[in-house]
């Protein structure tokens, strides 16, 4: 405890009537780097140890979408919207030679549509309207939410299930409403309260999913071409 107080005093001396000691600040910052890096590794290792079979099941579900000539749609809010975009581009633009481009549509990409629906109907409808317009039975929908409680994702999942889409969720903490939802076929939950660690595991997970999906599709490449 005393060590923590000393680090805080070094970082914020103005709160105690002092000035920063550059060497003490560097030591505290380096220790912060070490702790955050260790925590990031720890959370990843724990997630994959606990959820390896669930990740494989999600990969099989995505591969099945592509085997039946379906498309994947992705969605998320804020930082998670970046994950939705990243997920889509991984499948659209494979970086490994010999792997085919697979259809993946980022539902966050159309600013005009998002702001029109958000303004005229409400933000809870920005994804469900696109699922209704673009989705068809046999497609897949993946969503990212660090809390698992994003109302616009949950609404889209409900419609997707009704329409016959495969549904996959990425959440954090206790999984929120997404983990409890019957509308989500596969929910991958990172059990930590740190939003940064949740997002870091999400990135690692969909990178692994991308690789597993292509492995599962290896015998079907002729059909996909």
Residue 62 neighbours by CB distance under 10 Å:
26
Measured distance CA(87)–CA(75) in Å, rounded: 9
Is residue 13 domain-resident? no
**Rg of the chain in Å (alpha carbons):** 21
Comparing CA positions, the residue from 209, 114, 196, 193 lying closest to residue 156 is 114
Is residue 207 domain-resident? yes
Is residue 23 domain-resident? no
Is residue 6 domain-resident? no
- Check which CATH number belongs to the domain holding 104 and give it: 3.40.50.10490
Query: Of 10-19, 24-33, 34-43, 50-59, which range is least confident?
Result: 10-19
Residue 47 has pLDDT above 70, yes or no: yes
225 confidence band (pLDDT: 50, 70, 90) = very low
Is residue 42 domain-resident? no
Measured distance CA(172)–CA(151) in Å, rounded: 15
Q: What is the mean pLDDT of residues 111-128?
A: 97
Q: What is the DSSP string of 47-78?
A: HHHHHHHHHHHHHHHHHHHHHTT--EEEEEST
Query: How many separate domains does the chain show?
Result: 1
Is residue 141 domain-resident? yes
Is residue 44 domain-resident? no
Show the domain range for 148: 50-224
Q: What is the DSSP string of 81-134?
A: HHHHHHHHHHHHS--STTPPP--EEETT--HHHHHHHHHHT-GGGTTHHHHHHH
Average pLDDT in the chain: 92
Is residue 2 domain-resident? no
Q: Please return the burial class of 56, using the count of CB atoms within 10 Å of its CB with bins 0-12, 13-18 and 19+.
A: middle
Residues 55-100 have pLDDT tens digits of 999 999 999 999 999 999 999 999 999 999 999 999 999 888 778 9
* Predicted TM-score of the model (pTM): 0.87
Residues 186-208 have pLDDT tens digits of 999 999 999 999 999 999 999 99
């Amino acid at each position: 405890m005393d060590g923590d107080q000393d680090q805080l005093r070094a970082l914020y001396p103005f709160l105690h009537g002092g000035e920063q000691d550059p060497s003490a600040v560097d030591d505290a910052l380096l220790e912060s780097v070490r702790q955050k890096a260790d925590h990031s590794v720890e959370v990843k290792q724990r997630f994959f140890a606990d959820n390896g079979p669930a990740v494989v099941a999600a990969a099989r579900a995505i591969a099945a979408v592509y085997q039946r000539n379906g498309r994947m749609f992705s969605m998320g809010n804020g930082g998670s919207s970046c994950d939705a975009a990243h997920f889509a581009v991984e499948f659209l633009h494979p970086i490994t030679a010999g792997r085919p481009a697979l259809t993946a549509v980022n539902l966050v990409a159309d600013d005009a549509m998002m702001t029109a629906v958000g303004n005229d109907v409400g933000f809870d409808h920005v994804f469900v309207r696109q699922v209704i317009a673009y989705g068809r039975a046999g497609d897949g929908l993946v969503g990212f939410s660090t809390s698992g409680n994003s109302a616009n994702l949950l609404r889209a999942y409900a419609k997707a299930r009704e329409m016959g889409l495969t549904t996959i969720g990425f959440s954090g903490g206790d999984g929120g409403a997404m983990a409890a939802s019957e509308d989500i076929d596969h929910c991958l939950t990172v059990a930590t309260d740190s939003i940064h660690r949740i997002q870091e595991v999400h990135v690692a997970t969909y990178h692994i999913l991308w690789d597993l999906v292509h492995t599962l599709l290896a015998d079907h490449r002729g059909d996909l071409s």
